Amino acid sequence: MDIGLNVEFDGKKNIVMEGDIIKEYPIGGMACEYARLRPTEIKPLIMENTYFNDADLVGNGGHALMSLYEACLAKFGVVTAVMILTDFSSFMADFNRANAEELKGLLDPLNEDRDTSQIKSFILEDTGFEEFGISTIGQTMLTAYAAYADCYVAFKHSFNMLASGEEYEEDQVMAFWGLYASNTDFQHIDFHIMFFDDAFHSIYTIKSSMSLILFEAAHAMDAQTKFVKCKNCGNYFVPVGRSDSVYCGYPAPQDETKECRDVGANATRAKKMKNDVLTQEYRRLYMRLKMAVKRHPDSKDAQERLQELTEGMKIRRKQKEEGSLSTDAILEWIASFDNKLNES
């Protein structure tokens, strides 16, 4: 197989085949997994690469890439690891094959704004290099990283257009559609028919980040795939089984040993319980003050305290809806209000 993401697509699902790894994804699921990537997390893996200071790009560049792939596989999973390997390999091969003039044409655009671009400044920071180049395998990988960043931004923007359901400018939508018409050169996808397990299989090799979203978007639109934003981690996923799922099956940001669907469900229950307690505590205090006003209709103090409670609660509920105040903070306020009444 060529370098790329090898996928069997049967019209209903995707099966990724990478070495000993065989993993099934719903249509749209591969793109969802790749879209979870935070590209800044790649840099430490480059810096820790065994071949970082090696100057033999021809002899050891491939070994360095496989080392990066294995680190990405352990951290990000198979789809993301293969796509990083694929794009990095492509860029590093271009650098390696280029003559002096061609190489200058590849490096100059990357170096022109390296001091003003936040992304490029981040990539070079604390690396020992002040510019992009190919003097060592490490510098070459950082240079590929800078080129890759633009590719991933394009992928993520296209993915968001597909998954979010939000309206985008017509020129952006038409530019994306053009990749299926006048600009098909951006589709780096090979097709093979293979025979194994006593059957023929349609195998696609996806060879760039943009090709992945083009492959997934076309099939997702045909299948009317439903993309859901996980209520726990905020990433998109494709529900499998229950179509009303609101939590994904990926590691939860609170605890990577647990999945969002487990953590999220527990968090929802805990939140509901807290909200129930909040309602109960407020109603208890409200009724206490309401009864005090009825018993002592001439008491300005009781009326003022009731008004302070109701208006204070309105303000805090609004802050809670806006996300600037937690349920726990409101419960603490109610408790302190209660304590002041008991002391008076």
Name the band, by pLDDT with cuts 50, 70 and 90, for residue 69.
very high
Q: Rounded mean pLDDT of 53-74? A: 97
- What pLDDT is attached to residue 222? 94
- What pLDDT is attached to residue 4? 96
Name the band, by pLDDT with cuts 50, 70 and 90, for residue 273.
low
Query: Please, are residues 260 and 228 in contact by the beta-carbon 8 Å criterion?
Result: no
Nearest to 86 by CA among 7, 29, 174, 201: 7
CA distance 248 to 264: 9
Name the band, by pLDDT with cuts 50, 70 and 90, for residue 291.
confident
Which of 31 and 170 is assigned the larger pLDDT?
Answer: 31
Pairing of strands 5-9, 13-18: antiparallel
CA distance 289 to 283: 10
The residues, any chain, with a CB within 8 Å of residue 108's CB and separated by 6 or more, are none
The residues, any chain, with a CB within 8 Å of residue 219's CB and separated by 6 or more, are 9, 27, 28, 225
CA distance 304 to 282: 16
DSSP state of 290: H
The residues, any chain, with a CB within 8 Å of residue 57's CB and separated by 6 or more, are 92, 95, 96, 134, 136, 137, 140
Q: Within its chain, how far is the Cα of 20 from the centroid? A: 26
The pTM score is: 0.77
Query: Please, are residues 205 and 4 in contact by the beta-carbon 8 Å criterion?
Result: yes
Average pLDDT taken over every residue of the chain? 92
Q: List pLDDT tens digits, range 212-271.
A: 999 999 999 999 999 999 988 999 999 987 667 899 999 999 888 899 988 877 766 666
pLDDT at 336 over 50: yes
CA distance 157 to 68: 25
CA distance 150 to 116: 15
The token pair at 166 is 């939000």
User: How large a percentage of the chain has pLDDT more than 70?
Assistant: 96
The token pair at 306 is 């009731």
pLDDT at 1 over 80: no
